[in-house]
């Protein structure tokens, strides 16, 4: 694929604030997430990790001041959220949203068919046949150790933390994105749920080796299960360090302060 | 089309058309109805109703009856000939003929109607379907539904007030009376799907004897103005009510439901769940009341209504009331109203649904959590289709 239509996600000098506020949260992020690779972003609370995730997915609360995020030749920051999704970008939410009266199965079907739709074509002609959809959903649910009755429950309503995160991975497995962003997927999970969710991500990645993955996390723990190729450290809205998987281990043993001291000096902590 | 002028005050209906010959009693009732002033309703827009320009008509009822031994179903005219005592015993006993001007007109002029009589222990497994259709613009129709379920019988009645497309006003003034005797199980589903030029002003009442129960669904998506006073009287000990309602007011629709539940017997239960959505400049009103009499010890009663606002100019009023005269009761009510949650929209958009599809899914979901409790699949599907059709 020619470079200008790269299947890497290239984030260039990205400045972001919350709409209606002055303060910048992201202060010039540069990052390339390579197709087929797993990148991890680590950082302390308030560093801008979730802002980056939401901004890439198009949440209206975040306003891009300047910069771009190029993917398949488009600046995705100019697209509606649904068009980013159809382009292959998937955000696994840190806090998945409940929608009463909408069953998991109906929602998944609508999402799958929205991805299959084509401009100017009757959605009925592009929709996945229902039998094929059911088979796909059931096999993916088995993989994620989800009981069959799960599909009839309302979207995230009354779900436990682990169930919500598993549903995020199920959506990823059904939509097969080419670029997956995992926003603190480990938060609120016990070790068993974490293992199931991480196995799910790894399985989708194995089925889909060209998928790029951006794992956003506060803790190194998740990276024992989802092995990153590159680790980036985000602090105060800037990427301050980059390295291999060993950087995550170093952060685990030393905490974030040693980097803060190196980058900002003692005064700013 | 023949239009007569009203004789006296501006709120009178035109003279009945020639083909509708009135008996002496009906003529007196009509005169009485004319003498009653228009009700003063704060939340129902009556000024748009051109009552003078409408003429009473009939021939608007369609009835589908499942073959069931013992079941008696007839249109009102036939029932008046075949079972005059039955009609006399129940008609006008649950809803008073002089309740208001509109109901008085129904009492005088009702020709279209259905009488359903389910004898003791008879179980009608398939629903009885009654459709009242406005025949043309300018018409006023006076539907009358009478359901008598004798002890331990089972019956399901699906009633619909509807019309084809109309280019000017029409008026539907329905009265429905339901009697559930000891241990009877009644399911009553009433849908209003009129053209937005038509209006509906009516009254519906159910009276439950000992251990009787009723599942009642009230749904409105059509009409310009709707005002329905409804009542369930739980007179028999151990009687029970499960009531679901929904309204979707769009355009300039003004749709009101006023359900009252009156607990009279011992240990009666009621669950009332209402959902409304309003869009454009639509206006939905839920004026609900639970009344627990001094005699009604052991009552369990709960009333919930929620409204979803889809545009800033749309309005809703929720007036849930509670009057308790007994001391051993469990009763509660609650109202919620809100807008579509931006976080929900974003979540669905982030999965590839455009904003319109996402909104549609959220609104259908809002109603689905009530509609899913309707026991008939075809009614559930139809209700969701009707709502979807307005999105």
Contacts of A173 in chain B (CB under 8 A): none
∠ Cα A174 A230 A82 (to 5°): 35
pLDDT category of residue B9 using cuts at 50, 70 and 90: very low
Compare all CA atoms of chain B with the CA of A59 and give the residue at the minimum distance.
Answer: B346
Burial per residue of A198-227, b for 16 or more beta-carbon CB atoms within 10 angstroms, e otherwise:
bbbbeebbeebeebbbbbbbbebebbebbe
- A 78-117 → B contacts, CB under 8 A: 80-82, 84-86, 91, 93, 96-102, 106-107, 110-111, 114-115
CA separation (Å) from A204 to A173, A200, B23, B332? 6, 6, 79, 49
Q: Is the pLDDT of residue A6 over 80?
A: no
Residue B10: per-residue pLDDT: 41
Calculate mean pLDDT across residues B29-41. 89
Who among B342, B346, B365 is closest to A102 (CB)?
B365
Per-residue pLDDT band for B15 (boundaries 50, 70, 90) equals: confident
pLDDT at A258: 87
CA distances from A138 to A67, A73, A133, A170, A196 (A): 41, 35, 9, 10, 16
**Spatial distance between the Cα atoms of A28 and A238, rounded to a whole number of angstroms:** 6
Would you tell me how many other CB atoms lie within 10 Å of the CB of residue A237? Answer: 23
Q: What is the dihedral of CA B354, B358, B360, B362, to 10 degrees?
A: 180
Q: Which two tokens stand for residue A123?
A: 């959605």
Using the beta-carbon criterion (under 8 Å), do B351 and A80 form an inter-chain contact? no
Rounded CA separation A128/A108 (Å) = 11
Query: Is the per-residue pLDDT at A206 higher than 60?
Result: yes
* Rounded Cα–Cα distance for residues A172 and A166 (Å): 10
For residue A100, give the nearest of B342, B349, B366 by CB distance: B366
The residues pairing with B130 across neighbouring beta strands, listed in sequence order, are: B63, B159
Q: Which of B351, B373, B384 to mutate to test the interface with A (most CBs of A within 10 A)?
A: B351
Q: Is B84 on the interface with A (CB under 8 A)?
A: no
Q: Does B244 touch chain A (CB under 8 A)?
A: no
A81-107 confidence digits (pLDDT tens): 999 999 999 999 999 999 999 999 999
**Residue A213: strand, helix, or coil:** strand
Contact A82 B349 (CB under 8 A): yes
Q: Are the beta carbons of A101 and B369 separated by less than 8 Å?
A: yes
Sequence-ordered list of residues with C-beta below 8 angstroms from that of A231, at least 6 positions apart, any chain: A39, A40, A42, A223, A242, A243, A244, A245, A247, A248
Tell me the β-bridge partners of A38. A213
Q: Which residues of A touch B354 (CB under 8 A)?
A: 80, 82, 114
- Measured between CB atoms, does B356 come within 8 Å of chain A? no
Q: pLDDT tens across B172-205, in order?
A: 999 999 999 999 999 999 999 999 999 999 999 9
Q: Can you give the pTM of this predicted structure?
A: 0.91
Q: Do B352 and A82 touch (CB under 8 A)?
A: yes
Instruction: Give the pairing of strands B55-56 and B139-141.
Output: parallel
B352 shares contact with chain A (CB less than 8 Å): yes
Residue-averaged pLDDT of chain A? 92
Q: Which residue has the tokens 């909104």?
A: B359
Confidence at B18, pLDDT banded by 50, 70, 90? low
pLDDT in tens, B290-302: 999 999 999 999 9
Closest CA relative to residue B80, chosen from B119, B113, B36:
B113
DSSP codes of every residue in A169-197: HHHHHHH--SEEEEESTTTT--HHHHHHH
The per-residue pLDDT for B6 is 32
B273 in contact with A at a CB cutoff of 8 Å? no
The more confident residue out of B19 and B381 is: B381
pLDDT at B286 over 90: yes
**pLDDT score recorded for residue B20:** 67
With CA atoms as reference, the chain A residue closest to B354 would be: A82
pLDDT tens-place string over residues B331-367: 999 999 999 999 999 999 999 999 999 999 999 999 9
Locate all alpha helices (DSSP H) within B202-309, ordered by sequence. none
- pLDDT confidence of residue B8: 37
Q: Using a CB-CB distance cutoff of 8 angstroms, which residues of chain A are in contact with residue B367?
A: 101
Q: What is the pLDDT of residue B97?
A: 93
Between strands B144-149 and B175-180, the pairing is: parallel
Q: Does A36 touch chain B (CB under 8 A)?
A: no
Tell me the two tokens of residue B248: 């979707």
Out of A85, A101, A154, the one facing B351 most closely (by C-beta) is A85
pLDDT at B19: 59
Average pLDDT over residues A67-71: 97
- The CA angle A201-A205-A211, to the nearest 5 degrees, is 120
* Helices (runs of H) and strands (runs of E) counted in chain A: 9, 12
Cβ of residue B364 closer than 8 Å to a chain A Cβ: yes
Give per-residue pLDDT as tens, B53-68.
Answer: 778 888 789 999 999 9
Across B202-226, b (16+ Cβ under 10 Å) vs e yields bbbbbbbbbbbbbbbbbbbbbbbbb
Cα B246 to Cα B263: distance, rounded to the nearest angstrom: 23
Burial of B378 (0-12, 13-18, 19+ CB in 10 A): exposed
Cβ contacts of residue B37 below 8 Å, gap of 6+? B9, B11, B101
B81 vs B111: CA distance, rounded Å:
13
Note the pLDDT of residue A269: 42
pLDDT at A266: 62
Positive/negative CA dihedral, B294, B296, B300, B305: negative
∠ CA B350-B354-B357 to the nearest 5 degrees?
A: 115
What is the gyration radius of the CA atoms in chain A, in angstroms?
19
To probe the interface with B, which of A50, A61, A81 has the most B CB atoms within 10 Å? A81
- Nearest residue in chain A measured CA to CA from B346: A59
Summarize pLDDT for A169-195 with one digit per residue, the tens.
Answer: 999 999 999 999 999 998 888 898 899
Closest chain B residue to the Cα of A103, Cα to Cα: B365
Chain A nearest-CA residue for B369: A101
- How far, in Å, CA of B200 to CA of B193, rounded? 10
> CA of B264 to nearest chain A CA: how many angstroms apart?
35
For every residue of A147-172, DSSP letters joined together read -GGGGGSEETTT--HHHHHHHHHHHH
* Interchain contact, B355 vs A102, CB within 8 Å: no
B364 contacts A57? CB cut-off 8 A? no
Q: Mutating which of A20, A59, A93, A102 best tests the B interface, going by the most B Cβ atoms within 10 A?
A: A102
- What pLDDT is stored for residue B22 in this prediction? 80
Is residue B179 within 8 Å of B94, Cβ to Cβ? Answer: yes
User: Interface pTM (ipTM) of the complex?
Assistant: 0.95
> Residue A158: phi, psi to the nearest 5?
70, 15
* B349 chain-A contacts, CB cut-off 8 A: 58, 80-82, 85
Report the residue count for chain B: 391
Q: Name the helix (H) or strand (E) containing B214.
A: strand B213-220
Comparing CA positions, the residue from B313, B334, B311 lying closest to residue B322 is B334
> d(Cα A81, Cα A87) in Å, to the nearest integer?
10
In this complex, which of A57, A84, A101 lies closest to B364 when CB atoms are compared?
A: A101
Question: What are the residues whose beta carbons fall under 8 Å from the beta carbon of A117, sequence distance 6 or more?
Answer: A123, A126
User: Which residue of A lies nearest to B368 if distances are taken between CA atoms?
Assistant: A101
Structure-token pair, residue B288: 């609900």
Per-residue pLDDT tens over the stretch A14-45: 999 999 999 999 999 999 999 999 999 999 99
CB atoms A97 and B344 under 8 Å? yes
């Amino acid at each position: 694929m020619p470079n200008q239509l790269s299947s890497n996600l290239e984030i260039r000098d990205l400045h972001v604030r919350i709409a209606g506020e002055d303060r910048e949260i992201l202060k010039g992020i540069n990052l390339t997430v390579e197709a087929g690779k797993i990148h991890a972003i680590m950082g302390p609370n308030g560093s801008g990790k979730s802002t980056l995730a939401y901004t890439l997915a198009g949440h209206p609360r975040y306003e891009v001041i300047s910069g771009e995020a190029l993917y398949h030749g488009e600046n995705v920051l100019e697209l509606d959220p649904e068009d980013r999704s159809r382009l292959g970008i998937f955000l696994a939410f840190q806090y998945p949203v409940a929608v009463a009266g909408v069953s998991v199965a109906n929602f998944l079907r609508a999402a799958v068919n929205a991805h299959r739709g084509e401009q100017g074509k009757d959605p009925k002609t592009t929709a996945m046949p229902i039998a094929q959809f059911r088979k796909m959903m059931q096999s993916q649910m088995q993989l994620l150790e989800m009981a069959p009755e799960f599909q009839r429950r309302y979207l995230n309503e009354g779900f436990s933390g682990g169930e919500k995160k598993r549903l995020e991975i199920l959506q990823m497995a059904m939509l097969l994105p080419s670029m997956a962003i995992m926003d603190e997927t480990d938060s609120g999970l016990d070790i068993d749920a974490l293992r199931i969710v991480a196995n799910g991500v790894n399985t989708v990645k194995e089925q889909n080796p060209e998928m790029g993955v951006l794992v956003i996390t506060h803790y190194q723990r998740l990276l024992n299960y989802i092995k990153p190729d590159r680790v980036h450290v985000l602090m105060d809205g800037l990427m301050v360090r980059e390295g291999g998987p060993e950087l995550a281990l170093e952060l685990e043993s030393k905490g974030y302060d040693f980097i803060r001291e190196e980058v900002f000096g003692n005064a700013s902590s | 089309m023949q239009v007569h002028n009203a004789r006296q005050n501006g709120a009178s209906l035109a003279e009945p058309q020639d083909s509708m010959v009135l008996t002496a009693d009906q003529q007196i009732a009509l005169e009485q109805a004319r003498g009653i002033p228009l009700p003063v309703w704060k939340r129902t827009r009556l000024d748009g109703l051109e009552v003078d320009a409408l003429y009473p008509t009939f021939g608007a009822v369609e009835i589908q009856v499942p073959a069931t031994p013992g079941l008696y179903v007839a249109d009102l005219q036939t029932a008046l000939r075949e079972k005059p005592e039955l009609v006399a015993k129940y008609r006008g006993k649950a809803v008073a003929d002089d309740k208001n001007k509109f109901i008085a007109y129904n009492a005088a002029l009702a020709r279209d109607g259905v009488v359903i009589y389910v004898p003791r222990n008879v179980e009608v497994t398939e629903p009885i379907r009654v459709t009242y259709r406005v025949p043309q613009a300018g018409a006023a129709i006076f539907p009358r539904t009478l359901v008598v379920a004798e002890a331990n019988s089972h019956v399901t009645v699906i009633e619909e007030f509807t019309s084809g497309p109309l280019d000017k006003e029409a008026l539907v003034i329905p009265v429905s009376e339901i009697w559930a005797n000891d241990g009877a199980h009644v399911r009553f589903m009433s849908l209003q799907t009129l053209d937005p030029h038509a209006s509906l002003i009516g009254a519906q009442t159910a009276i439950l004897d000992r251990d009787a129960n009723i599942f009642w669904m009230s749904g409105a998506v059509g009409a310009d103005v709707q005002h329905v006073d409804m009542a369930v009287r739980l007179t028999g000990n151990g009687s029970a009510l499960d009531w679901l309602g929904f309204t979707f007011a769009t355009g300039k629709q003004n749709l009101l439901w006023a359900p009252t539940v009156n607990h009279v017997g011992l240990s009666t239960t009621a669950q009332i769940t209402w959902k409304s959505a309003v869009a454009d400049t639509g206006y939905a009103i839920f004026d609900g009341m639970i009344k627990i009499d001094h005699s009604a010890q052991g009552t369990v009663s709960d009333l919930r209504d929620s409204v979803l606002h889809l545009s800033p100019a749309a309005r809703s009023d929720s007036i849930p009331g509670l009057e308790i005269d007994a001391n051993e009761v469990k009763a509660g009510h609650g109202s919620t109203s809100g807008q579509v949650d931006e976080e929900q929209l974003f979540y669905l958009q982030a999965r590839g649904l455009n904003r319109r599809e996402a909104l549609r899914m959220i609104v259908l979901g809002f109603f689905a959590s009530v509609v899913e409790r309707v026991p008939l699949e075809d009614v559930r599907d139809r209700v969701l289709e009707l709502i979807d059709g307005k999105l």
